[in-house]
A and B are shown apart, each in its own frame.
Chain A
Amino acid sequence: MTLFDKSNGNSNGETNGTDLSQIVAQRGQPLGMVIEGSVSNGVEVRLDPGVSVEQIKVGTFVTLQGSDNRFFGVVTDIGLGSTDPRMKYTPLPSDDPFVIQALQGTVAFGTVSVLPQLTLPDVVGDEQGPAAAKSIPAHFSRAYTASQEDVETVFGSEEGGNFWIGSPLDMETKLCLDLGELVKRSMGIFGKSGTGKTFLTRLLLTGIVQSGQASSLIFDMHSEYGWQGQDTDKGVTVKGLKQLFGAKVSTFTLDEEHSRRRGLSTDETVKLGFNHIEPEDVDLLRESLNLSEVAASAAYNLREKFGEDSWLKEFLDAGKNGSLLELAEELQVNAGALRALYNRMGRFTRHGFMVEHSRVDTAAQMIEHLERGQHVVLEFGRYGDDEAAYILVSNLLTRRIHRKYVEAKESAMGGAGKEPRPLVIVIEEAHKFLNTAVASQTIFGIIARELRKYNVTLMVIDQRPSGIDSEVLSQVGTRFSCLLDNERDIDAVLSGTSGSRALRSVLSRLESKQQALVFGHALPLPVVVRIREYGTAFYETIQGGGDSDEEKKRKVDELFG
């Protein structure tokens, strides 16, 4: 029907005589005008005739041109209104397109609720940036969909050194993140299994490596970040950080055989000595090893008796020699508990990455790489499925690395030495070691709580955020949430954020893949992002800047030589 053509229906008459496309470029498409509102509830926009409610989605960005200010906001609700309350009881010829179209947009109209969140500088490119909105636009202010320029003004542009992570809902505009801000606080990546957490994490990590804003240490449970990862949907492999960045990334493995079988070389193989395990580690493993509290605490007695370096070895030897009973008596611990500890630790230490004594300090090796500005990926290979191994190794190494960071930071503050580079530590299945029962003991709980005091922050990836200790979660500054359907998980992810009611409905309506609600510290306002495709086109944006000729040659040698 051309009768109620959009350009004709534009009752504001503002576009008369001006080039429409020019206005759209600057301000986006006209939507309607403000008819009521409040600061606490946002404003109600009545849609122009010709603008269909179906064109607009919850989460769409909108600008509102007030008389003195331009506001930037987000659509939180969409409704249908009428000027005549009796309309709903009036029989109308729904099959007569003429009548229906005449009523639409006039007597029967669409409304959108917009929460104005920022005021924009009047002139695009003005020095002063967006500021939090403390007022609302006046009656009859015009509303427009946000333009590319608006989005860039608010979220930053790629040219401005920010990292392009995807596009806002229904826009082709690049949505960028300030990685410098991002790594200042811990961040979380949440979502059900298969929603794209791993892909998003990989994307963010490439951004971090590329920008050089921080070093990263990745406890790569399923070996998907180092050399390559799997795209299970398409049945292909995707490039990992090592392939993209070569020497900037060092890969460590717990499972040399696994790497070799896949035909991949790794830079270092990690062997942990019994001497590296501390009673605190045993405490953490209580749940995964199914140990009683008494059994776990026996480890402290053993350390007291045999000393820091050799308690585990001496204990296991005693067990082998059949002298557990005497030992129990001597330490005054329950013999059954001690036997349980012996059995579990005995089994655990038979893992291939454990050796009786190791003089190699893996943590120190890693720190060396990190200090050189490199990024470290520790692949777990077949041990990735072993919860206890993942928890033990990641804790054990992180504890040591953190200790070094604390020392470095403290001496830097005392004027000796330079500040350690910011470090982002990536852990998966975070609820297993950040649950309320153990969060206070694990090093990760400590890191999360001390903020960035020592320049170390966490990137936690989890499909069950409700399992994470709420205090720890509250320290997760920037959150990326893909689709979640468990109510408790949604509550957990949104805890402590303002306007969580509106976000809730957004969160539960995300697409099942490659879409995330991003909010928190690093962003001026929450945004739904269609995550950038991680694939060939993406690699090309890196290759140019990423590899020196020398590195390329080295890579070729690595592949064929």
Chain B
Amino acid sequence: MSTTSGNGSGQLMERRVGEVVESTSTSFVAQCYQLEGAPALGGLVRTDSPDIYGVVGTVTTEPLDSARPVLARGEDADSEEDVIRDNPQLARLLTSRFEVYIAGHIEDGITRQYLPPRPPRVHSFVYACNPEEIAGFTSQLDLLRLLLNSGASHADEIVGACIRQAASSHDQPNYFLAQACRTLSVELAADVARLNAILRRISP
């Protein structure tokens, strides 16, 4: 276990949201322990030893067996909760996964916002970052470049969500936003239309 856990393994356990089930140099997919238990779009997560950080890009909930699609069951139910209660087997037939775009890693105690030499191993635990970790990691903003170039069709949404979420972890959210705007302006200096689209997503 890494020293970054800080607060003891008890709390770290609580932040464990899933486990890596697929992995590539630029992204990995984690399966959630709880159905619908994925962190929010744009949320910062990390793996442990090696410490690899990433931003949640796509959350999927689907049947475990793709040959058995989910059917609508609530026609006669009074509420959505009733549907869940009356069909307890559903939780075992469904699974939630999330795809994470790698945003950097920690090497010899130094934060590097570029891709690690190797992606996380399959079955690595995935933790949601706490506010201190978020503020610490996003004190640099080179990760935005990785996200902008992630190739995701909705990269702008991921960037916007990531900045909005990270801002609330900073002591001076406005200062953080201004820095983020500046970084985006540099990255998107030649594409004002795209820059504008993202800026409007993070406008407070």
Residues of A participating in the B interface, judged by any CB pair closer than 8 Å: 2-5, 8-9, 11, 49, 82-84, 86-87, 90, 92-93, 96, 98-99, 101-103, 106-107
Chain A's interface: helix, strand, loop or mixed, by majority? loop
By beta carbon, the residue of chain A nearest B183 is A106
| Known contacts A2-B174, A3-B174: A103-B200 contact under CB 8 Å | no
> CB within 8 A of A99: which of B179, B182, B200?
B200
Which residues of B sit under 8 angstroms from A2, Cβ to Cβ? 174
Q: B43 CB to closest chain A CB, in angstroms?
A: 23
| Known contacts A3-B174, A96-B203, A99-B199: A11-B192 contact under CB 8 Å | no
Instruction: Give 13 new A-B contacts, CB below 8 A, not counting A8-B179, A101-B181, A102-B185.
Output: A4-B178, A83-B189, A84-B189, A84-B190, A84-B191, A87-B192, A93-B196, A98-B203, A102-B181, A102-B184, A102-B199, A103-B196, A107-B195
Bound-complex Cα distance A2 to B174 (A): 8
Tell me whether B186 is interfacial, beta carbon within 8 Å. Answer: yes
Which residues of B sit under 8 angstroms from A87, Cβ to Cβ? 192
Which residues of A sit under 8 angstroms from B178, Cβ to Cβ? 3-5, 8-9, 102
Whether A49 and B182, one on each chain, are in contact in the complex, defined by CB atoms closer than 8 angstroms, is yes
Q: B79 CB to closest chain A CB, in angstroms?
A: 40
Whether B189 and A107, one on each chain, are in contact in the complex, defined by CB atoms closer than 8 angstroms, is yes
Interface size of B by CB at 8 A reads 22
Tell me whether B38 is interfacial, beta carbon within 8 Å. Answer: no
> CB within 8 A of B193: which of A82, A90, A96, A102?
A90
29 A-B residue contacts at CB 8 Å?
A3-B174, A3-B177, A3-B178, A5-B178, A8-B175, A11-B182, A49-B182, A82-B192, A83-B189, A86-B192, A92-B192, A92-B196, A96-B200, A98-B199, A98-B203, A99-B196, A99-B199, A102-B178, A102-B181, A102-B182, A102-B185, A103-B195, A103-B196, A106-B181, A106-B185, A106-B186, A106-B189, A107-B185, A107-B192
Bound-complex Cα distance A4 to B188 (A): 18
Residues of B participating in the A interface, judged by any CB pair closer than 8 Å: 174-175, 177-179, 181-182, 184-186, 188-193, 195-196, 199-200, 203-204
Whether B191 and A103, one on each chain, are in contact in the complex, defined by CB atoms closer than 8 angstroms, is no
Bound-complex Cα distance A99 to B194 (A): 12
Bound-complex Cα distance A83 to B190 (A): 6
User: Ordered nearest first, which 3 A-B pairs have the shortest CB separation?
Assistant: A106-B185, A83-B189, A102-B181
Q: A444 CB to closest chain B CB, in angstroms?
A: 61
Whether B192 and A90, one on each chain, are in contact in the complex, defined by CB atoms closer than 8 angstroms, is yes
Bound-complex Cα distance A4 to B189 (A): 18
Bound-complex Cα distance A9 to B174 (A): 12
Which residues of A sit under 8 angstroms from B196, Cβ to Cβ? 90, 92-93, 99, 103
Which residues of A sit under 8 angstroms from B175, Cβ to Cβ? 8
